[in-house]
Amino acid sequence: MASFALDPEQLKWCAQVRDGAAERLRPLAEAGEPGRVNRPLLAALGELGLLARLFPGTALELCLLRESLARECTEAETALALQGLGAHPLLESPELAARWIPRVVSGEAVAAFALTEPGAGSDAAALELAAEPAPGGWRLTGEKCWISNAPEADVYTVFARTTPGAGARGVTAFAVPADRPGLGGERLDMLSPHPIGRLRFDAVPVGEQDVIGEVDRGFRVAMTTLNRFRPSVGAFAVGMAQAALDAAAAHAASRTAFGAPLKELQAVSHTLAEMATRTEAARLLVYAAAEAYDSGAAWTARSSAMAKLFATETAQYAVDAAVQIHGARALERGHLLEHLYREVRAPRIYEGATEVQRSIIAKELFA
């Protein structure tokens, strides 16, 4: 894997994204209701041209965007990422893309990626949502759970079983508008502050025009999307780790204890040094994974798994360490670190849990 450094133009753009997030997006995020889709925030992301960067955009560009947003406003980062995850599969169908992508890019339409089920999380090939043949297409019956943006999205990329007993080979991806009869759901009250819900399908009608890609080839659509977004989950984590490090360093420089600034205490300064080292290492792994994806390198799967694994675990460490340096004030509702402490836990699970990433890396070692 090659070393990686950003050029001056990339650094300038990242700074502009951070400034826009702090000045324009953060106030909208703070005005929103936790656990609900923030449509004014999405509209602002569209007006700033940031959602347009998702389609097509490079993996590196996506990583820089997510890291920059996460440093200043995790709500904006997550809103953007969920739009990309939910709508990216639609690019497989020119007709569906023409219908939905312009509305997603403007922030008018909310997209969602509906893969996970109560009994099919990391083992996505085990999903059971049934697509039963019906005149003109299929009827979807079953449940999806822990779906980001559900049940408030306007269009769902839904993965359903069209061939029973066929494992990954019998899954088809469908674009399902929220107003289809038989589609319902409710919000779930989760630790993470972004919107997550359950979807119920009661013979929801879908037709040939709703198929994304090919019938029985939906698992490939899911994996293609997840492989593209996996390094950028690491970028999100790097942004949170950097925000935690910045807050901890500022506090250590200004807070006095035992007659000296906290930064003069070796226990604190060594913790900050460890946070900084791990965060930079995670950042380089993320950039290398994005570069591998963009270049079509043979080691892309291993690189992406390493990036997500190390970056999300690093973010968990960095936020926890920053809370420890701040003390009780960091646990007050509304404090930056209290927010990050709730936000940082989920990325170690979604889009392939830490244990799944380790399995991918181990498998690649013997390929």
Please list the active-site residues.
351
Dihedral over alpha carbons 52, 56, 58, 62 (to 10 degrees): 40
Nearest Cα neighbor of 117 from 129, 105, 109, 106 is 129
> Where would I find the beta strands (DSSP E) of 117-195?
130-134, 137-148, 155-161, 171-177, 183-187
205 has which bridge partners? 139
What's the CA gap between 357 and 302, in Å, rounded?
Answer: 9
Phi, psi of 110 (to 5 degrees): -100, 130
CB neighbours of residue 56 within 10 Å: 8
Is the bond into 102 cis (omega within 30 degrees of 0)?
A: no
Q: Which residue has the tokens 């753009």?
A: 13
